[in-house]
A = this chain, B = another copy of it.
Amino acid sequence: MLGRSVDKIYSQDHVIATKKTCLDLSLDGLVLVGSHGTASYAAHLAELLVQGGVETRVIVTPGSIDGDMKNQFIEAAFGFDTACKVYSELIGNIATDGCSSRKYYYFIRLMGRGASHIALECALQTHPDVVLLGEEVAGNKLSLVDIVNQLADVVCARSDSHKDFGVVLLPEGLVAAIPEMATLIQEINGAISGEGSDSVEGVLARLTPWSRALYSFLPSFIQTQLLLERESNGSVQLTQIETERLLAFLVDAELASRKATGRFSGKFAAITHFFGYQARCSPPSNFDCAYAHNLGRAAAALAAGGYNGYMASVRNLKAPFSDWRAGGVPLTAMMKLAGRVAATSSVAAVEEKQGSEAGSGSAERGLPAFVAPAGVDLQGSAYKALQRAAVEWVLNDTYRNPGPIQFSGPTADDRTITLQLEKHDYLGQIQQLQALLDAARDACRPGCPQPVLSVALEGMRSLTNILSIMQADSAGKSPSN
């Protein structure tokens, strides 16, 4: 275990150095721990090693707190369970404190990059008054003003019940999910040379009038964060934008205006938090320990078995540890072609535009194909459970304080609520289908009655016809999935 690398293996130099080390040490396998970014580079590295005659097999294990390294093959990345439990512990404490001292609105921004999985899970764990998800905001094309009005409505409704306190959760990707903010950020990234020599006026002059107006509307601390604090590639550092302060500020202004016109008579005092680094590197939950351990064993088995460019997988994660099923999936099975992202994933699109912090990026510079991050599925069971429950949370103070991670006792092996609610049966369904095909084959062996054969033929012709039409249709939309 070499530790956390500062940067990804993507430059020619990195690849040459990696090749050399693999040869020098005669490595059978190189196991990378990471998310979609790591997986994307790993797939290309595997290819390059084969081309260079190196026999080291490249295997990825899905590890990331963000929760966006999942797909039909991979149910979760390890780290998500632990991070969500630590965040939920803190949110639970704040909610308890908040409804005890009854003085403040807490605006809490949660890590998680472009996707809102952490915010979703933490909301299901802690029952805040409001949770905003980037996918929801992007899907409904909510503007900044819409969001501020929604929040102000909640504050007013709660104030009518003499509750001038509450908890609002938001994901760090929110700011890039708000359409006009995404446009502004994109324009700023385009308007900045990246050489640190741009004046504020120069950058502003290069924006569209609309974005310039939005920029002037924003409070000065956000202006500073948008223009002055940049990543090494010159783009806006999303993690550094204090969306929680922005929303608290704008809600405060909206409420002041409502107060002036007699539509609000309560108090509003906000305290903002960013929960980021304090949950990463927590001692892992039992689930994450068991999961990472089994992924590691699967990775070793894959490398020893000669599989190259695979992601280790452990399925059936909802079940007791003893019922888990280890395996591997070729990375190419979960890759998309670059340039087709926008049509299929708004999260990936946002991240592609943004670039990303070293070590956990998504749409990767210069790669022809990559593993895309998964956003929260707005048709999924976890999101639907949130929608149903959130109606109750907003006025009834049904905060839940799940407490700290336990390593023994009745809750020690608890899974995330998201994992419990989501259906993960893609590969199980494939097995069921195989069994049904086998049964049809068995029923129609030579000697079977003619009527049986006719019905089977008729049925399968019709089915394959439908499938070929569906596949042609979906290929037009997304060639690799």
Contact = CB atoms under 8 A, between A and B. Distances in A.
A230 interface: no
A381 interface: no
B281 A93 contact: yes
Interface string A85-126: 010011001101110111100100000000000000000000
Contacts of A406: 404, 406-408
Interface string A259-287: 00000000000010101011111110000
Interface residues of A, number: 35
A6 B101 contact: yes
A145 to B, nearest CB: 27
Secondary structure of the A side of the interface? loop
A280 B405 contact: no
Contacts of A405: 403-404
B103 A6 contact: yes
A388 interface: no
Interface string A1-33: 001101000000000000000000000000000
Given A93-B277, A277-B106, A281-B93, A404 B86 contact: yes
A409 interface: yes
Contacts of A3: 100
Given A401-B283, A404-B283, A406-B407, A278 B94 contact: yes
A479 to B, nearest CB: 37
Contacts of A97: 277, 280-281
A122 to B, nearest CB: 13
Contacts of A278: 90, 93-94, 273, 275
B93 A280 contact: yes
Given A6-B101, A6-B103, A89 B404 contact: yes
A225 to B, nearest CB: 13
Contacts of A100: 3-4, 281
A390 to B, nearest CB: 22
Interface string A234-275: 000000000000000000000000000000000000010101
A102 B6 contact: yes
Contacts of A96: 281
A282 B404 contact: yes
Nearest to A405: B404
Contact of A94 (B106, B277, B401, B408): B277
Contacts of A271: 277
Interface in A408-441: 408-409
B407 A101 contact: no
Nearest to A91: B278
A97 B277 CA distance: 7
Contacts of A281: 93-94, 96-97, 100, 401
